Amino acid sequence: MAFKFVHTADIHLDSPLKSLALRDANLAEMVGSATRITFSRIVDLCLAEQVQALVIAGDLYDGGQTSMKTARFLSQEMERLTVGGVQVFIIRGNHDAASKITRELVLPDAVKVFSGRAEVEEVTWNGHSVAVHGISFRQPHAPDSLLDQFHPPVPGAFNIGLLHTSLAGASGHDPYAPCTLADLQNMSFDYWALGHIHKRAVYPGPTTVVMPGIPQGRDIGEAGRKSVTLVSVTDAGRVNLQERHLAVAQFERLAVECSAIADWSDVVETLKHGLRSARRDNEGEHLIVRPVLEGKSPLTWRAHRDADLLRSEAQVVAEQIGTLWIDKVEIALDAEAASKAGGAVGEMAALVADGPLRADDPRVQAELDLMLKHLPRELRGIIGDNEEQVIEALGDAMRQGAMDILARLEESEG
């Protein structure tokens, strides 16, 4: 094997929790330490595999992080890599650009943090010439492409490019250093180490392009198995990729089909069975599940009314298993069934089902802005980090709230 390196990005060390912190203090504590533990495992992987380098393609930190505990932890981990003979190459992403630690932390000499101007570091790994190219974000926003600032590939070397980018655009991500896959291929590098998008993607071709995704999910919006990439390069320059799963906890949505169920006790048993199966089918160390009740059911009203009882039942199963956690129980039963119940409440449910609640209504936005201003700073992103996420989350919350209220009214009317 000629040489090896580990490629990761979007670690978001000590990322402040949002909704989890409000729902379950124990769960919040476990997930709150997960990014740090996962980073230590990345360092362990580098040392165990005796790689030549760790490549971090942006967002090592999480925004305006000011904790010096984070700085001390990072210094210790970097020192472990230095002692083990592992070089580190880091570019700053949009979150790093806002971090005070980024400007103040002093790292070992073996750690290269690229500046806001394109640079190239030429090194020799196991007798092979390697050129590592990179550029950091100077500001939290980079609306224009950065590719034209890169140096050309170094002749005779294996060229690695580090770039924090949204590529040509991704749902839920603002445009950062936008470029296309063709743009990257035309640079004639051997490997592009990308960051920013939290979902893993590999683009084979003349140049291997990898977006490793976030190594540790932080909420249900980052569900599924997360990983880092172990890259092995042969003497002939062939690139081999291994996906390594190091996360402490894994988030998953669990669909609970209720269409054929008419008895409440059967709903409860179906929920419990689904939770046990989810834990059995997922190998992660900790599994955080959001059960979602789906389908057309005559129990729609009761599910909304007694959602707290369903969560209690789910929590019992989670406590019995020990490594299973409940994010929350989501009621997504078809509102159409409730709207056919008749009476004034049924008519109101029909209005909700038709979707007249406009999350983008200026009056709704004004109330939301007022509410967010009174929240602690670390919770202001609780319903989303961009306009698209906020509107979607707010619309779901409005519909859920309306159905919960109607369920109480239906009980009184009955």
Least confident span in 39-53, 88-102, 276-290, 308-322: 88-102
**What is the Cα gyration radius of the chain?**
24
Mean pLDDT in residue range 363-390: 61
In 107-238, DSSP assigns E strands to 111-113, 119-125, 128-134, 158-164, 191-195, 201-203, 208-211, 228-233
Distance (Å, whole) CA 182 – CA 293: 42
Q: pLDDT digits over 73-126, tens only? A: 999 999 999 999 999 999 988 776 655 665 667 788 899 999 999 999 999 999
217 neighbors 226 (Cβ within 8 angstroms): yes
79 neighbors 113 (Cβ within 8 angstroms): no
Tokens of 33: 């330490």
Q: How confident is the model at residue 385 (pLDDT cuts 50, 70, 90)?
A: low
Residue 46 vs residue 28, higher pLDDT: 46
- pLDDT of 350 > 60? The answer is no
Distance (Å, whole) CA 370 – CA 352: 25
Q: pLDDT digits over 169-204, tens only? A: 655 556 778 889 999 999 999 999 999 999 999 998
For β-strands 330-333 and 324-326, DSSP reports them as: unpaired
* Count of beta carbons in the 10 Å neighbourhood of residue 67: 14
Highest mean pLDDT among 31-35, 118-122, 258-262, 375-379: 118-122
Mean pLDDT in residue range 312-321: 96
Place of tokens 């799963």: 245
Mean pLDDT in residue range 279-298: 93
Mean pLDDT in residue range 396-406: 62
Residue 407 vs residue 309, higher pLDDT: 309
Place of tokens 């005070």: 100
Residue 233 vs residue 408, higher pLDDT: 233
Write down the pLDDT at residue 401: 63
Q: How confident is the model at residue 320 (pLDDT cuts 50, 70, 90)?
A: very high
The DSSP symbol for 152 reads P
Question: If you average pLDDT over every residue of the chain, what do you get?
Answer: 83
Give span(s): CATH 3.60.21.10, the chain.
3-244
Write down the pLDDT at residue 45: 98
- pLDDT of 37 > 90? The answer is yes
**101-105 contact pairs (CB < 8 A, 24+):** 101/61, 101/65, 101/66, 101/67, 101/68, 101/70, 101/71, 101/74, 102/61, 104/71, 105/71, 105/74, 105/75
Residue 135: C-alpha distances to residues 114, 132, 152, 194, 373 (Å): 6, 10, 13, 12, 35
- pLDDT of 404 > 70? The answer is no
Residue 333 vs residue 280, higher pLDDT: 280
The CATH homologous superfamily of the domain defined by 3-244: Metallo-dependent phosphatases (3.60.21.10)
Mean pLDDT in residue range 272-279: 97
Write down the pLDDT at residue 138: 79
Write down the pLDDT at residue 93: 86
